[in-house]
Amino acid sequence: MSEPKIYKHKPFQLIILVILLPIMGIVLFTSGRTEERIIQTVMAVMIGVVFLVSMLTLTVKVIISDSEISTQSIFGTTSLAWSEINRVSGTGSALKLHNREGDVTVAPSPQLPGYVEIIEQIGAKRADLFNTENFGEMKRSWFIFFPLILLIVFFMAGLLVSGLMMFNKPDTPTIIIMPLFFIFFIAVIFLGIVFSSPQSVTLEGKSMSIKYLFSEKTLLADEIASIELRFTQTRNGKNYFVALNQTNRKTIRISGLSISLPIVYLVLKNWHKKYTNPTPAKMDTSSNYPSFPTL
């Protein structure tokens, strides 16, 4: 039996947090004038909240062994044997493992170092949970369009107000209508994301159908060289996406579907493996030598 593998944040991150944030809070609270105490208190409370949230995040661990998977935090440890996992769920980059009764849930943090490896191990241990029978069609949630619709409404309102201002006062300063251009810029970005992102992925036999808002693309399993779970690092953490690397060296990015990206990744990976693994060739028992009668 192999040793359990532990996935956790680097110790120096926790050390810096424990030393730096309390010092910042003390300096902020004890410096300045008396009349600024209210502002200082609010800032110190905010630093305290950041400290507690960061402590919770940085002390999370995932432990994987041959028999079970566990998540550990300052609140305790939750474990599930591989055989106890009955179903999977999740949204965004998060993946939740549930037992049959539904009272125990293990959810590895997507911000943990080695998260992709954790997902790979879950997929290897319980490949039966990620099949096309359960996830043959994976769609984008319509809720994602709500911010875009809201933004367009604000843009149209701003356009109307600015038009009225410029019509009534031709000498209106440009700086007053600058927010309109900013809203327009954000709206263009949102529209670009929506138009370029897949709205659904459907698997049927050897073919994969990827639907966009105004188009559809069909790929055969043999046209895909590999499938990967990747991420880009941002200020707010890691943004994950599924990369379909085609044999023509082009890559299709999939993200923003209503179900968890790790589920999408493992389902597509198992589907690709099923339809691209060559069938073992039958052994040729025939001989080129002439046969002789048995004496």
The answer, yes or no, to whether residue 209 has pLDDT greater than 90, is yes
- HEC readout, 107-121: CCCCCCCCHHHHHHH
pLDDT in tens, 234-245: 777 788 999 999
- Is the residue at 266 inside a domain? yes
Count the domains in the chain: 3
pLDDT in tens, 22-46: 676 666 666 655 555 666 677 767 7
- Is the residue at 272 inside a domain? yes
- Is the residue at 225 inside a domain? yes
Structural domain ending residue among the three candidates 153, 172, 190 = 190
Q: What percent of the chain has pLDDT over 70?
A: 65
- Is the residue at 19 inside a domain? yes
The answer, yes or no, to whether residue 144 has pLDDT greater than 50, is yes
| CATH code at position 226 | 2.30.29
Higher pLDDT: 9 or 33? It is 9
* Shared domain check, 239 and 182: no
**Is the entire prediction scored with pTM above 0.85?**
no
* Shared domain check, 154 and 204: no
Mean pLDDT throughout 224-239? 88
* Shared domain check, 21 and 6: yes
Structural domain ending residue among the three candidates 59, 75, 108 = 59
- Is the residue at 255 inside a domain? yes
* Shared domain check, 172 and 241: no
For residue 168, give both structure tokens.
């009534």
Higher pLDDT: 191 or 201? It is 201
- Is the residue at 128 inside a domain? no
Q: C-alpha angle 5/95/244, rounded to 5°?
A: 95
Give the structural domain span for 242.
196-276
* Shared domain check, 166 and 204: no
- Is the residue at 109 inside a domain? no
Name beta bridge partners: 200. 139, 211
Mean pLDDT of the chain: 79
Segment among 16-20, 154-158, 257-261 with least mean pLDDT: 154-158
Structural domain ending residue among the three candidates 134, 164, 190 = 190
* Shared domain check, 151 and 166: yes
- Is the residue at 157 inside a domain? yes
* Shared domain check, 271 and 207: yes
- HEC readout, 12-25: HHHHHHHHHHHHHH
